[in-house]
Amino acid sequence: MYKVLVVDDEPLMLEGWKTMVDWHACGYELCGTATDGEEALALIRACDPELVITDIRMPVLDGIGLIRAMKEMGHGAKTIIVSAYSEFSYAQHALRYEVDRYVLKPLMTDEIHSLLLDMAASLEECRQTAASSRKMQADAAADAIVGLLGNGGPAAADTAARLLGVNERTRFRLMAAESIGESGESESGKSPIAVLMKTLTEALIIDGMRAWIFEESPGLAGLLIIDNDLNEEQFEVWLEETVVKKGWPPQELAFYCSETAIGLHSVPNLYRQALEIRSRALLGSKAGIYSYRERKVTGQWNLEDMTAYVRALLQAIESNDLPGIDRSVDELVGLFGKSGAEESLMQTAVRHFRGELLRRYAERGATHREASEWLHQLLDGTESADIASWTSTSLKRLSVKATEQFTVKEKPARANSNAITEAIDYLKQHYREKIRLQELAGRFHLNPTYFGQQFKRETGHSFHDYIHRLRFDEACKLLRRTDMLVSEIAAALGYHDTEYFTTKFKALSGELPSTYKSKRQG
């Protein structure tokens, strides 16, 4: 989909652009509308459109002024001028600023559809050129960073500074990552860890940070990050939440985070910190997030003991052994006291414990998003998100709450099976409504984790996939048999976002709803 911004000071014209043009069928997404040039410039910075369609006569800043401002800010979107004025002077102004097309009002829907389809080839060429340029820049930056790690001296530092756009006052952090037990390639032909690092780079940019991927040794990807206001612990929390949010299995990934330091001359040392963490006992073969800060503070790591006590605590939770929970937490806290570094090891243990809870909950049939939501529900204001403030009392309280999700109450197998069947029947009647797995499980008095497992066993699909499939079947009927708009069908089926509905529909059918409709009704 090519992103489009439409600018016109006439409300009726804007409404016409929204309703008369079948953007999706032409391969476009209307990402915004504006009523003058200044408002349009703000939207251009926010949504970065690939095509801007603008009226020529507008208050505040007209179409020609808007295009001139776009050129000055270096934005390369294609442009179409729309005007009710056919005087040659306007066309001359438009051509001066390399406007791609000049269209006169009144507009005809077929004409606009034809124009959009005609421009698709040049837009795709621009997209490919930009992607190629970004790849070349990324490759050059990666080579410069690797050269820096090889102690390339002042020349390597100067090259890196120029390519990265940094100076001697820039503060950096560095992270290395690898996939535990990684094998093969993804569908894109890249290793899973390379795909993950690209995803993390994009997430960092969205959150106002900058980062560059590099690979100094096979299988170990690095990320050089311009530091912002996040301290080490806050960055690790961001990293954990982002990995879960993006759907990557935390139990299959290992991250090694350095301290922060100022200047490119510090980068080789930051990388050595990451490698040192990786070389510690167990870290090269066990998933998790590990920081040089913790190694520096604790001095002597007792990871074997710590992971053993956490494992015992998790076993007590899963077996609903309340005395065992008390005993395991007390032993864990006792370990901190013996180490002489109670605060740092407590934070390490809590992070490891939290990650293991997420992993085990996900293994019981929940999606990673559901697992993350479940953990936030466990906290529910009773525990601080700042793990530095956790105590043995809060850890015990959290563990007891977790037993409610991991413990399946004894029920006759036939009764459980009947409850799942009733739940499926209920969904077939109410799939248009907003239904949460936890709420439906509660309706039939079942543990949510157990319910999710049994539901998938009965249907062959996860809870959410099953709902989408029910909605998809109904959407197909409505598209074939009615004249309802795609947006109306999306709303009728419980989707508040038409774009999200379109994405789900295409994932199941291989085509857009509008394409499906035209083929079946044509």
The pLDDT of residue 71: 85
Q: Is the dihedral of CA 72, 77, 82, 87 positive or negative?
A: positive
Residue 195, token pair as written in the block: 């795909």
Give the Cα separation of 28 and 25 in Å (integer): 7
Task: Read off the pLDDT of each residue in 430-442 and give the average, rounded to a whole number.
Answer: 84
**249: confidence class by pLDDT, cuts 50, 70, 90:** low
Taking only the tens place, the pLDDT of each residue in 327-372 is: 888 877 776 654 444 455 666 677 777 777 777 776 665 665 666 6
Q: 3-state class of 494 per DSSP?
A: coil
Domain 466-521, CATH number (from 3.40.50.300, 1.10.645.10, 1.10.10.60, 3.40.50.10420): 1.10.10.60
Q: Per-residue b/e over 258-294, b at no fewer than 16 CB within 10 Å?
A: bbbbeebebbbebbebbeebbeeeebeeebbbbbbbb
- Each residue's pLDDT tens digit, 391-402: 778 788 888 888
Mean pLDDT of the chain: 78
Q: pLDDT (tens digit, 9 = 90+) per residue, 125-134? A: 888 888 787 7
Report pTM: 0.45
Residues 6 or more apart whose CB falls under 8 angstroms from that of 44 comprise 5, 52, 70, 75, 77
Helices (H), 48-108: 63-72, 88-96
Average pLDDT of span 210-218: 82
Collect all residues with Cβ–Cβ distance below 8 Å to 438 and sequence separation of at least 6.
448
In the CATH scheme, what architecture does the domain 2-107 have? 3-Layer(aba) Sandwich (3.40)
Look at residue 320 and tell me whether its pLDDT is greater than 90.
no
Q: Does residue 387 surpass a pLDDT of 90?
A: no
The whole-number average pLDDT for the span 250-270 is 85
112/106 Cα distance (integer angstroms): 11
Q: Match 């912002």 to its residue by tokens.
A: 228
> How many Cα atoms sit within 13 Å of 380 on the Cβ side?
7
Residue 292 clears pLDDT 70, i.e. is over it: yes
SS3 438: helix
DSSP SS3 for 160: helix
CATH architecture of 137-298: 2-Layer Sandwich (3.30)
What is the distance of C-alpha 16 from the center of its chain?
33
Dist. CA 422–CA 342, nearest whole Å:
51
